Each structure stands twice: as C-alpha cells, then as structure tokens.
C-alpha cells in the first residue's frame, strides 16, 4: 500500500511542476491574469512597486514581472542620448491642421520608440498656450482647446497603433515654466472645463490614451499629483479613465495624501511612495490595501496590454529609426506646417531661374534648429539646415553667400561693461557701481559688505564672495549709472546664477528672480551720447556657486559688417532668425517677445541695403516684429521644423510647394496685449487666471484688440473662393456645407474653419469659438463641396452653478472662413429648449 501511494505521488509531481500559472497564460483574459498576479505579490512588494527606477518601472524577479520602459518625448525619441529622428515640434504639427498627417507622425514616433526598445512614449503635451513667452509652448498644440483636442486624438491613435503606450501630459494647467515646481494656478472650474481640460478629455475618451502624466504645479491650492478634483472627480469618475496615472519627474510632494489619491506611480523614484513610508499606514488602516492594489493593478494592466509578459520588447531594432518612411513623414509635416505670414506684391515664391546671387543670413540658417530644449529635445540624425536645403534645391549656377550676422549659441561671450562707462553717481567722478552685499536672499536689512565694483564680472564658487558674506546664501545689489560716448542701439547683456533683475532708468527690463542655472539674457536699448542712465542690477544665490556679469555688446560689429556687405551685392536676401533650444526650453519662460541677440537690428540693417528681403522665422512660439515687418517683402514661419526642415523651407521659398500652414496661436503686436499680462509672474508662487476662458483669440475678440497675425491665419500662393454656404439640421447635429474653389493657377490646400457664436444673454460667452475645420486640397480651377458637422458639444458651455455642461436655448451664429478674423459667411440658427 505504501509503495502504491508513493507511486501516485511521484506520478503527480510532473503535473504540478508543469502547471501553468494563470498570470503567465497568454490565452487568459488580462483582468484575470492581473488579479492572479496581484494575489501572489506581498504587501511589501506592492508598496515598493509604486515608485519608478528613473525611466522605467521596477522588475520583480521573484514573479518575473518585466520592466515598463519609458522615453521622452513628443517630437521624437529622447532616451539615453540615443540618436533619433526629430519630427517637427508639436506647435508645427498643429500648424498643419492635417489630422491624417498627425496620425502618421504619431505612428512614426511609435515606430522609433519600438526601435529603441522602449514601451511608453511620454507624450503628447496638450497644455494650452496661454501666454506667448511660455517655455514649452513649442511642445503644445496651440491656444485653442478644439484644435488641440483633434491633434491629440490623432497623434495618440498613431502612437498606439504601433503597440506603444502614449502618455498625455501635463494634467493640468501647466501653462508656464517659471516656478513650475510649486506655482499655484488659481483658475475657475469653467475655464478648466472649457479651455484646459478638453484636449485631455478627448485623449482619454476618444483616443483611449493608455497613460496620463500629472503636472508639477498646484491647481487651486493642491499639487496636481495629489489633487482629488483633477484625478478622482474628473479623470477617474467623470471621464472613466482606466489607464495608468504617473507623476511628472519629482512632482510628488507627500506620501500618504498622494497614496490615498489616484496617482499610480511616482517617477522617477519612489521617494514618497515606498514600503518604508507607507507600510505603517497600511497596517493602521489609514491606507487600504485595496487602494494600493488598484495602483499596482493599473501598472500591471498596461504591461499585459502591451504584451510584455508574453513577448517583451527587449532589444533595439534600429531599422525602425530614421527610416525612409519616417523622414518622408517628417518632411511632409514640416512642409504642411510652414505659415506664410507676409508676401508683399507676391514676392514669393522666388524665381530660381532669375537668381544669380543669394545672401543667406542669420543664426538659424546654417544651424539645425530642429526643436526646443528640455525633455523634448531630440539627438537628431543628419538634420538638414535651411542653408543645406537651399543648396539642395537651387541650380548649381546660383551663388549662395552665407553670413551668420549674430549668434544665438551658448558660446556667445558677454563682454562686461568697461568701468569707463559706469559711474557711482551723476557727478561722473568715480567709475564703477555701488555694490551692496546681504546675508539673505531678499536684499533685506543692512548690507554686510558695501564697496565699489569697477566692473560686474564675477564667478563665485560655493564659498561665495567672502568678506563676511555667507558662503552660498546671499544677495547683491549693484547701482549707479551708465554713460556712453556714442548714440546707438546697445545690447545690454547679463549672465546670472541664481536669480537676477535688471532695471534701466527704473524700468525693469530683465527679470528672472527665481533659482536657475547659468542664464544669459540680452536686451537692446537705444542709448544717447553723454546721457546718464540709472542702472540697478540685483542677484541672489540660494545654494552652490554664483555668476554675475553685466555686459554691453557681444562682439557683433564685425559679423554685422559681413552680413551687410553680402546683402548689398545679392539679388535677394533670405534672413533666417528666431530662437533655439536654449531660449525656448523646459524649465524657464522667455523674458519677452523680441528676437534675441540683436536679430531685430540685423534685419533692419539688411533691409536698409537690399529691398528684396524675406525673413524666415525658426521659432516655437510668437515673436513681435514691429521694428522690421514693414521693411521686408516676405515673412515665413517655419517653426522648429525637425530633421527635414531645411528641405521643406527651401521648397516653399522656391515654389516647389505651396504653403498651407495656419497659425495655431495668435501672434500679438506686443506682450501687453495678451490675456496673461496682468497676472503672470506678479505674485511669487501664485498665478491668478484672471483671463478665465478668454485666452488667445477669445481675448483679442472680447477686447477688440488687433493681433499682429490672428489665430488660424496663413497665406497661400494661390487663392480660394467660398460659395453656396448652407447650414442644415441632421438629426441632433448640424451640417455646415459650402463650396470651396481654387481660383488661382497652382495647386493648393486651404484650411476652412467653422466658428460658433452664441447670442444667449444668460452667460458671458466668447465672441466666437472654433468648432470645426477641414483641410482641403484643390487643383487650379477645381471646386469641392465641403461638409463639417457640429454636434451638441459645439453649443455647450460649462455652468459652474450647476457644475455641468449646458446648452442655452436661443440663437447661435455659425461662421465659416479662412481664419478667426477672415470670416466669409455666417448663418443664424435657433436652438429650442428641450
């Protein structure tokens, strides 16, 4: 009998050994696999799983849980300094208004993500462009929630079609970079729901984005990563988001409050959410184990959905990176994004058969400015500059002379103002500036050191200035006067680390009064010979070393001269100006809307010696142009155009392609015209969204302000005619139809835009809002019927009193046109109360 039992037990052993665990069964439903796996994890393992490992989730070797690998960013893969292809910046993507093309872009980035062996793309960024100086404007889809929503949905659909998870970010109202880690955005629920939420909502509900990233900032008093209104009420309950919620890197500020909320994983590491910080809360019942299970569940669901348990992406497949298909998509996107802003007397396109000599001038002509800085920066492969593109496209007999004109790059040296131009007072007897050094970061109290500094050119290590000044926590004020010996425009330059402020004649002209790394800033001012100009330069250092340089000039005269001489002898001049990844970048906002480093002066000097000038802007967001726009024939906005941008720009300038881009954001005439101007950076660590829903063109419309270029604007080399406008009811929806004809001589694409106005008086409403658009391609003489549908959402607004969306009965006006300020037709409809 004993021998028989032993035989039975031994016979059963192979069956037990071969039994397949449910979570490893690829044929079982994902939900069942997840629950089986959670049931096998210890409490400590679950709590430890709530923090990342840099750019991935943790590996559990005991249970064989693989890592979930992440990568930046929205314009191309940025991971571990790997080489990738740079697609045009998201602002450029939005300027295409081409949904099919943006889906292709998403798919292309998804392929490159797989090619680098990563699983999760940390994009797209859908935060609304509220203020034109925002450091990450280039990384967003513009100022309008409807346009941003359509872009987000198609981008995400493209990414996820390649088996890669998209991450819509940053939830919510991350609209400025200054103080971004802790600024409190105070904004109404109406503005949240009508302006700042829609692109996130569309990403979650329409595109089924698998991941969402929270923002750094507070929203109405609570950090986004532990904000119950954002994450629980809106995201989980109202929008029914079932995906993974991750923090931005170092955006978690608490342990228990965050763990009790809806955030699933703290990135990059579990500094606040880990076994050590949370175990006692679980044991005491303050944090339920089911709340922890839900977070683990959301991480594991994504791993299973991506198939990483069954067929993990472990190795790189570089055949997917920089492929011919992706370069074609990048080229077509750049081409479709280019906005023709001005074309005096049809100066463009240039007739390459009549050209003999071209002067190509500017800091963005021979440098590849493919994108902005920060987490979205791509280490691009074989980028094509504008100068390269022109050489590629022009006949060999056309001579191209290149001159940089000015420099934007970090190697630009600031020349300290000589002591002979600085004075302690208006008597002019003593050279230098009065220096006052304080043992605090607020310039308060009595200085611990007062002296005359002949020039302001200091680099201090962690030991500080000495002479009784604290090692790494101090502030300095230099004051006095500047007097020059020649009347002209002077570039007043500063170098600072940490915070700085600069006044000239009691006018604040530079302001970065917050901790930052080494930062250069140049402001051009006209100074008159022999006149004393009051100057005050302030600096604080909060930790580590410091830099303080007050300069005037960057060695510009000699390179100006070459540029001007080249321009004099050219048939035409192409001036390539703008910004770069150091000026438009994550982590800080621009100081102003002017072209930096004397580029405005450069354009003026060139325009004075040659009347055939076109300016190409390489930027991520608006700049002002009042000094020179009436002195040049053409202006082209190329954005940050990606790897193939140079070829695309050349094809537009030379007429090989017809520009079809439209502005996804308004270009103001001056910063003071913008909605955020009254409240931005006025109170430390706090921003009141006093503009409420009146952002971008809504603001310009409400107050009758004329923008430099309106939202939706863009010229073409051909002309379009709208006719036979009609609005009809189709069930619950309305259909807006019209005929669109290419009345010109070359093929072109027009973006027809539909706006809705409400005449109801129960609620303050925008003059009009974008609710539909269609990009239509037409051959010369061709005509097409265009139909755009408007559903109930097109007429709804968010009512704060009832905390819900409402449609008021009454009359509404439906407009169609080629921009927000060029409306061709309108029709009135009436909505009857249900």
Q: pLDDT tens digits for 165-201? A: 999 999 999 999 988 999 999 999 999 999 999 999 9
The pLDDT of residue 9: 40
Q: Give yes or no for a contact between 366 and 671, defined as CB atoms under 8 angstroms apart.
A: no
What pLDDT, in 10s, does the model give residues 367-403? 999 999 999 999 999 999 999 999 999 999 999 999 9
User: Judging by beta carbons within 10 Å of its beta carbon (0-12, 13-18, 19+), is residue 273 exposed, middle or buried?
Assistant: buried
Catalytic position from the list 48, 72, 98, 248: 248
Residue closest to 204 by CA, chosen among 238, 252, 249, 158: 238
pLDDT in tens, 441-485: 999 999 999 999 999 999 999 899 999 999 889 999 999 999 998
Q: What is the pLDDT of residues 84-122, one digit of tens each?
A: 999 999 999 999 999 999 999 999 999 999 999 999 999
| pLDDT digit string, tens, across residues 343-375 | 999 999 999 889 999 999 999 999 999 999 999
CA distance 715 to 731: 36
Fold of the 720-831 domain: Immunoglobulin-like (2.60.40)
Percentage above 90 pLDDT, the chain: 85
Contacts of 456 (CB under 8 A, 6+ apart): 416, 417, 433, 478, 537, 548, 549, 550
Query: Would the pLDDT of 2 be above 70?
Result: no
> In the beta sheet, which residues pair with residue 481?
423, 534
Distance CA 652, CA 633 (A): 15
Where do you find CATH 2.60.120.260 in the chain?
A: 419-552
Tens of pLDDT along 21-76? 999 999 999 999 999 999 999 999 999 999 999 999 999 999 999 999 999 989 99
Report residue 506 as tokens. Answer: 């009691």
| Bond from prior residue into 743 cis (ω within 30 degrees of 0) | no
Q: Is 248 a catalytic residue?
A: yes
* Block residue for tokens 């960057």: 554
pLDDT at 6 over 70: no
Mean pLDDT value of segment 226-232: 98
Q: Determine the Cα–Cα distance for residues 221 and 186; give it in Å rounded to an integer.
A: 7
Question: Does 18 have pLDDT greater than 60?
Answer: no
pLDDT tens for each residue of 559-610: 688 999 999 999 999 999 999 998 999 988 998 899 988 899 999 999 999 9
State the pLDDT at residue 73.
87
Range 791-798, long-range pairs (CB < 8 A, 24+ positions): 791/732, 791/733, 792/732, 792/733, 794/734, 794/756, 795/756, 795/758, 795/831, 797/190, 797/194, 797/758, 797/763, 797/765, 798/189, 798/190, 798/193, 798/194
Distances 521 to 365, 549, 752 between C-alpha atoms, Å = 22, 10, 40
Question: Which residue is it, tokens 């829903």?
Answer: 693
pLDDT for position 681? 87
At residue 412 the predicted structure's pLDDT band, cuts being 50, 70 and 90, is low
**Domain boundaries 419-552, corresponding CATH code:** 2.60.120.260
Cα–Cα distances in angstroms (integers) from residue 446 to residues 470, 475, 477, 535, 743, in the given order: 14, 12, 12, 21, 73
What number is the average pLDDT over the span 787-797?
96
User: How large is the average pLDDT for residues 499-503?
Assistant: 94
pLDDT at 263: 98
Q: What is residue 322's three-state secondary structure?
A: coil
For residue 385, the 8-state DSSP code is P
Average pLDDT over residues 203-214: 98
- For the purposes of burial, counting CB atoms within 10 Å of the CB of 54, is it exposed (0-12), middle (13-18) or buried (19 or more)? exposed
**Interatomic CA distance for residues 36 and 161, integer angstroms:** 28
pLDDT tier, 535 (very low <50, low <70, confident <90, very high otherwise): very high
State pLDDT tens for residues 726-785.
999 998 899 999 999 999 999 999 999 999 999 877 789 999 999 999 999 999 999 999
Q: Does the pLDDT value for residue 807 go beyond 50?
A: yes
Asked whether residue 129 carries a pLDDT value surpassing 60, the answer given is: yes
Give the distance between the most distant pair of CA atoms in the chain. Answer: 118
> Using CA atoms, how far apart are residues 118 and 68, in angstroms rounded to an integer?
8
Q: Percent of the chain at pLDDT above 70?
A: 96
Whether residue 833 has pLDDT greater than 90: no
Asked if CATH classification 3.40.50.300 holds for the domain at 324-400+557-580+604-702, the reply, yes or no, is no
- What is the reported pTM? 0.90
List all residues 6 or more positions away from 801 whose beta carbon is below 8 Å from its beta carbon: none
- Strands 519-527, 488-497: pairing is antiparallel
């Amino acid at each position: 009998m004993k021998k028989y039992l032993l035989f039975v037990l031994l016979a059963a052993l192979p069956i037990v050994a071969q039994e397949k665990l449910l979570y490893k069964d690829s044929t079982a439903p994902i939900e069942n696999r997840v629950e089986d796996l959670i049931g096998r994890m210890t409490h400590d393992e679950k709590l430890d799983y709530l923090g990342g490992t840099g750019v991935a989730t943790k590996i559990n070797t005991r249970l064989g849980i693989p890592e979930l690998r992440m990568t930046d960013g929205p314009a191309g893969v940025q991971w571990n300094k790997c080489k990738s292809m740079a697609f045009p910046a998201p602002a450029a993507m939005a300027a295409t208004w081409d949904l099919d093309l943006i889906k292709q872009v998403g798919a292309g980035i998804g392929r490159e993500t797989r090619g680098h062996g990563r699983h999760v793309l940390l994009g797209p960024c859908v935060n609304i462009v509220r203020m034109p100086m925002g450091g990450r404007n280039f990384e967003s889809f513009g100022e309008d929630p409807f346009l941003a929503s359509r872009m987000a949905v198609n981008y995400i659909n493209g990414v996820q079609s390649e088996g890669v998870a998209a991450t819509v970010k940053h939830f919510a109202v991350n609209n400025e970079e200054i103080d971004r880690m802790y600024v409190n955005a105070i904004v109404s629920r109406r503005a949240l729901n009508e302006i700042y939420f829609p692109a996130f909502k569309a990403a979650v509900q329409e595109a089924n984005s698998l991941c969402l990233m929270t923002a750094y900032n507070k929203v109405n008093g609570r950090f986004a990563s532990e904000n119950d209104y954002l994450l629980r009420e809106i995201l989980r309950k109202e929008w029914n988001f079932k995906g993974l919620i991750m923090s931005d890197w170092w955006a978690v500020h608490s342990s228990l409050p965050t763990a009790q909320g809806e955030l699933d994983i703290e990135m990059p590491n579990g500094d606040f959410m880990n076994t050590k910080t949370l175990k006692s809360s679980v044991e005491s019942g303050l944090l339920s184990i089911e709340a922890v299970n839900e977070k683990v569940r959301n991480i594991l669901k994504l791993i299973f959905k991506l198939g990483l348990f069954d067929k993990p992406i472990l190795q790189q497949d570089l055949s997917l990176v920089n492929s011919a298909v992706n370069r074609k998509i990048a080229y077509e996107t750049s081409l479709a994004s280019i906005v023709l802003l001005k074309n005096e007397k049809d100066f463009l396109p240039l007739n390459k058969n009549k050209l003999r000599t071209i002067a190509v001038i500017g800091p963005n002509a021979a440098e590849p400015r493919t994108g902005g800085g920060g987490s979205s920066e791509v280490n691009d492969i074989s980028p094509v500059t504008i100068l390269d593109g022109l050489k590629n496209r022009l006949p060999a007999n056309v001579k191209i002379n290149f001159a940089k004109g000015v420099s934007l790059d970090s190697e630009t040296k600031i020349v300290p103002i000589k002591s002979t131009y600085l004075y302690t007072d208006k008597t002019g007897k003593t050279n230098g500036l009065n220096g006052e050094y304080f043992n605090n970061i607020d310039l308060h109290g009595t200085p611990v050191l007062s002296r005359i500094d002949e020039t302001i050119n200091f680099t201090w290590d962690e030991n500080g200035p000495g002479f009784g000044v604290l090692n790494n926590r101090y502030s300095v004020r230099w004051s006095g006067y500047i007097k020059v010996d020649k009347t002209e425009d002077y570039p007043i330059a500063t170098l600072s680390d940490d915070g700085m402020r600069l006044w000239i004649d009691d006018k604040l002209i530079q302001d970065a009064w917050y901790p930052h790394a080494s930062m250069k800033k140049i402001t051009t001012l006209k100074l008159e010979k022999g006149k004393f100009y009051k100057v005050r330069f302030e600096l604080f250092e909060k930790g580590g070393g410091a830099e303080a340089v007050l300069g005037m000039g960057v060695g510009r005269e000699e390179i100006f001269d070459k540029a001007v001489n080249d321009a004099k002898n050219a048939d035409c001049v192409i001036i390539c100006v703008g910004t770069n990844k150091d000026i438009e970048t994550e982590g800080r906002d621009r100081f102003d809307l002017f072209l930096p480093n004397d580029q405005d002066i450069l354009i003026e000097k060139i325009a004075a010696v040659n009347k055939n000038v076109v300016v190409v802007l390489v930027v991520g967001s608006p700049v002002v142009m009042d000094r020179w726009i009436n002195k040049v024939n053409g202006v082209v906005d190329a954005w940050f155009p990606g790897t193939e941008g140079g070829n695309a720009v050349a094809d537009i300038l030379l007429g090989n392609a017809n520009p079809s881009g439209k502005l996804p954001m308004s270009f103001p005439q001056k910063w003071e015209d913008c909605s955020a101007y009254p409240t931005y950076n006025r109170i430390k660590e706090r921003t009141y969204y006093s503009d409420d829903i009146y952002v971008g063109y809504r603001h310009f419309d409400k107050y009758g302000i004329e923008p430099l270029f309106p939202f939706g604007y863009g010229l073409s080399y051909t002309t379009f005619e709208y006719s036979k406008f009609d609005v009809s009811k189709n069930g619950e929806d309305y259909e807006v139809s019209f005929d669109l004809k290419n009345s010109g001589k070359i093929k072109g694409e027009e973006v027809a835009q539909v706006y809705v106005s409400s005449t109801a008086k129960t609620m303050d409403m925008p003059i009009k809002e974008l609710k539909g658009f269609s990009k239509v391609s037409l051959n010369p003489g061709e005509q097409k019927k265009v139909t755009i549908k408007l559903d109930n959402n097109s007429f709804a607004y968010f009512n704060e009193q009832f905390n819900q969306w409402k449609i008021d009965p009454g009359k509404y006006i439906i407009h169609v046109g080629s921009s927000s300020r060029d409306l061709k037709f309108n029709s009135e409809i009436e909505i009857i109360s249900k």
